[in-house]
Structure 1
Amino acid sequence: MTTVESSPPPGATFLWLELTGRCQLSCTHCYADSGPTKTHGTMTTSDWLSVIDDAADIGVREIQFIGGEPTLHPALPELIRHASSRGIATEVYSNLVRVRADIWDLLIEHNVRLATSYYSDQPEQHTLITGNTLAHRRTTENICKAIILGVPVRVGIVTVLEDQRIEQARRLLTDLGVENIEVDHVRRAGRANTEADTPLEELCGQCAGDVLAIYPDGAVRPCVFTRSLRVGDVLASG
């Protein structure tokens, strides 16, 4: 591991760890262009553990495990435990299509938060966006399970379609007991972008301040949307 490019600059307090490009879904707007045929990348479990150690050493307070679908990565349980042992708060951003029993146990044991995306109260519209006919039912069921288990869950409703049932989805989530609901427009990145680079106006303006993203190939970028802008590499030697 390097000491210059591999570690976030002093002052970084939040990291996205994009563990994998693999996902059960093929969402039309996926910023990571993830899907069922993608891989976990070239980062090994040891590499990810070293990133967490580096993060703890420079004062990172929070990590979000993301993908792809992070629950598909075999090292996720070990990484959650390690982050917790280093005093870093964690959140797992999952599509919640399938969450193994051991993952639920870890979320509870280590006070891990969950985040997910939601698109409509109608299964058909949800399927149109995600490409998976089971996604709406399973995601809804696992949102309910998280609430029952006392796992904090926040939901982002992403506007993708012109006729998308945003308010109906918000009401459904509220009725389920979700308290943290945000609505955002789709970002022009990945499959939602026809241009070579993500337009700057699509970004929130907080990139490379106290946040950074580590990708499955070891690339360090200002955030998960700035996929054409590389500021380092945790796998580089020297």
Structure 2
Amino acid sequence: MITEVTGIQTIRMLYVQLLYRCNFACQHCFHGERLQHSDAFTLPQAITLMRLMHKEYGTEAVNFLGGEPFLHKDLPEIVRYAKQELGLHVEICTNGYRIERRLTEIAPHLDLLRISLEGNGATNDAIRKFGSYQGALSALAYARDLGVPTGATMTVNARNIDEVLPLVRTLQDYGARQLKLHHLRAVGNAAHHPELLITDQAAYGRLRDQLRTAELSIEVIVDEDLSEDGAPEICTADERAVAIPRVEADPRGALTMSCKAVGKDAHAFWYDKEAGHIVHRPSDTDELALAVPDVVYARA
């Protein structure tokens, strides 16, 4: 269905938000009130979606997220199927809070564990949850000991922009391979925390200069919106691209092909979880009709 409508034939990575439920309520979370919703993928639904994407669009990697993916009761079986049956590159994005027991189960099938952090110590805990910083470091150390490669994500905001480099150095000490920096978008919980929004666009330029001149052993990937000029306005749908890097499925089955559309009701395609196929549900406000550009990432 996606190919027929857009011309896209290949989608490299599938992001699966397994459930909305989370043990955190972070101030910047794009899910907002949906954190309280019960929508979730069942084991058969997740398997069917992965199989469909792999067969029809050549998908070679999957990233499981939520909500908090480690709260999903079938996570070990889902991860095991993705790796053993489909041969996918498997990543999980998690808050890392008390995941050690379940991480042991899935470690042999996991290619990357990415933990969300918003700064060092108290800065992180104020945005995410008290005790979450130490919990994340514990998970990083545990994963390292299991031989699981690790990385981190950070959503840059007014409260933590000065802690990017200190966090990078902490991650280096824990053996993490990469930090991915996201631009804060005023959706979900972030819409209720305007104090997190950065009003001085020059601050992004200063951050990028710091990253360029720092001697770092860790790879830092930066959302191009974190620049004084913002990201290029690129929309793959307009260009009739034959390959795109990602598609994301939320717990309802809504699909998005642009990070900038995630967290908004702008869905041209849905995965019908009961029928097991993708359907086209166009509207005047979907991501194709609005030509929503994707996020562009680049090395710092």
What band does the TM-score fall into relative to the shorter chain? 0.7 to 0.9
CA distance change for structure 1 residues 79 and 68 in 2, over 3 Å: closer, same or farther? Answer: same
Match of 2:187 in 1: 189
Question: Does residue 95 in structure 1 map to residue 95 in structure 2?
Answer: yes
CA distance change for structure 1 residues 190 and 126 in 2, over 3 Å: closer, same or farther? Answer: same
Match of 1:222 in 2: 257
Given that 1:32 and 1:67 are in contact with CA atoms closer than 8 Å, whether structure 2 keeps it comes out as no
Amino acid at match of 1:155: A
Match of 2:217 in 1: none
CA distance change for structure 1 residues 24 and 223 in 2, over 3 Å: closer, same or farther? Answer: farther
Question: Does residue 233 in structure 1 map to residue 270 in structure 2?
Answer: yes
Amino acid at match of 2:89: A
Q: What are the within-5 Å matches in structure 2 for residues 46-195 of structure 1?
A: 46-58=44-56, 59-84=58-83, 85-107=85-107, 109-122=108-121, 124-130=122-128, 132-162=129-159, 164-193=162-191
Given that 1:222 and 1:231 are in contact with CA atoms closer than 8 Å, whether structure 2 keeps it comes out as no
TM-score, length of structure 2 as denominator length: 0.66
CA distance change for structure 1 residues 221 and 203 in 2, over 3 Å: closer, same or farther? Answer: farther
How far 1:180 moved relative to its partner?
A: 1.5
Q: Matched residues, percent identical? A: 21
Q: Distance in 2 between matches of 1:105 and 1:178?
A: 20
- Aligned-residue CA RMSD in angstroms? 2.8
Question: Does residue 212 in structure 1 map to residue 239 in structure 2?
Answer: no
Q: Distance in 1 between matches of 2:144 and 2:75?
A: 21
Given that 2:11 and 2:246 are in contact with CA atoms closer than 8 Å, whether structure 1 keeps it comes out as yes
CA distance change for structure 1 residues 183 and 52 in 2, over 3 Å: closer, same or farther? Answer: closer
Which runs of 5 or more residues in structure 2 are unaligned? 193-224, 238-243, 280-300
Runs of 4 or more above 4 Å deviation: 201-208
- 1:93-130 deviation digits (Å, cap 9, x = unpaired): 011012142432312x11431111212222x2112101
Question: Does residue 29 in structure 1 map to residue 28 in structure 2?
Answer: yes
Q: Distance in 2 between matches of 1:38 and 1:44?
A: 15
How far 1:175 moved relative to its partner?
A: 2.1
CA distance change for structure 1 residues 219 and 36 in 2, over 3 Å: closer, same or farther? Answer: closer
Question: Does residue 14 in structure 1 map to residue 49 in structure 2?
Answer: no
CA distance change for structure 1 residues 218 and 183 in 2, over 3 Å: closer, same or farther? Answer: closer
3-state secondary structure, aligned to 2:32: coil
Amino acid at match of 1:103: L
Work out the number of aligned pairs and report it: 225
CA distance change for structure 1 residues 102 and 111 in 2, over 3 Å: closer, same or farther? Answer: same
Match of 1:197 in 2: none
